[in-house]
Structure formats: C-alpha cells, structure tokens
C-alpha cells in the first residue's frame, strides 16, 4: 500500500485548473520540507489535489507560507525532455490536507517551542512508602 503523511510548508500559491477531457478540477502547488539531518537542505515536492471538493478546498483555503500536514500517495513520473533524455520527478497525490499554521517553520526552534500540546507530569515525589517497596504505584494519578 502506498500511503504517505508529510509535514511541509506550501512554497507556491496553489493553482486551480481543469482537465481538457472532462473538466475535472485539479490544484497544483509546491511544498518544501526539512531534510533528515540538520545540515541537509530542504526538499521540494509537487502536490496535486484532484476532484471538485479537494481541489477547490486547497485552492480557496491554503496559501504560500502555510504549514500543513498532507496525506496521500507518492509516485514517480517519467518525463521525456526535449534534449533527448528522460527525467524522473516525484509527485504527491493528495487525499487529505490538515492546516497547522500560517508561515511557521516545520520544526520549532529550541527557543520557540510551543507547550500548548504538552502534558505536564507532576514532579517526582520522594517515596513515602519505603517500608513496602513491593506495593505497586497507583497509575490513576497520571494526568491524561
């Protein structure tokens, strides 16, 4: 099964157009995502959304600079160049898109981390039941 989830930033304004045959709407855009290592340059990828609902949603609600989570399929296209050689290009066919924010970086820097989605655990308390170390700790006190 070919299924991918990708966190990326939209780098080009989504462009809505229609196929010639049956006027199916499709939206194309470019996204960028971080490399695996700190010194790796970011990678770019073409994203295509097909169909009335998804193509229109992407073109109307998303813009260059938006941070998104993309769900879909990855495929390789072979393009014959005028120079006489073939080129492979990756393309992401979108099935779902989720907004994350506008113009934010994919990974928060150490000085700008958001704690909105973090659960704070209570500070470690000294074990007051040291006489009976075989007794199990009560896990009901975990705050989630």
Predicted pLDDT of residue 5: 92
Q: What is the pLDDT of residues 69-123, one digit of tens each?
A: 999 999 998 888 888 888 888 899 999 999 986 654 444 333 334 444 444 555 5
Average pLDDT of the residues in 12-37:
91
For CA atoms 41, 113, 65, 101, the dihedral sign is positive
Record the pTM: 0.64
Predicted pLDDT of residue 36: 83
> Which range has the top average pLDDT, 43-47, 76-80, 116-120, 133-137?
43-47
In 12-43, which positions are buried (b, 16+ CB within 10 angstroms) versus exposed (e)? eebeeeeeeeeeebbbbbbbebbeeeeeeeee
* CATH 2.40.50.140 is right for the domain spanning 4-103: yes
């Amino acid at each position: 099964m070919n299924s991918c989830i990708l966190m990326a930033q939209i780098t080009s304004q989504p462009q809505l157009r229609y196929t010639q045959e049956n006027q199916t709407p499709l939206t194309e855009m470019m996204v960028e995502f971080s490399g695996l290592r700190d010194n790796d340059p970011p990678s770019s990828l073409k994203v295509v959304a097909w169909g009335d609902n998804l193509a229109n949603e992407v073109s109307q609600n998303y813009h260059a600079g938006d941070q998104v989570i993309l769900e879909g399929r990855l495929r390789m296209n072979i393009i014959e160049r005028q120079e006489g050689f073939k080129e492979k290009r990756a393309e992401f066919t979108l099935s779902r898109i989720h907004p994350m924010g506008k113009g934010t970086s994919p990974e928060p820097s150490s000085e700008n981390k958001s704690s909105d989605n973090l659960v704070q655990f209570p500070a470690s308390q000294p074990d007051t039941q040291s006489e009976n170390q075989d007794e199990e700790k009560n896990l009901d006190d975990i705050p989630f």
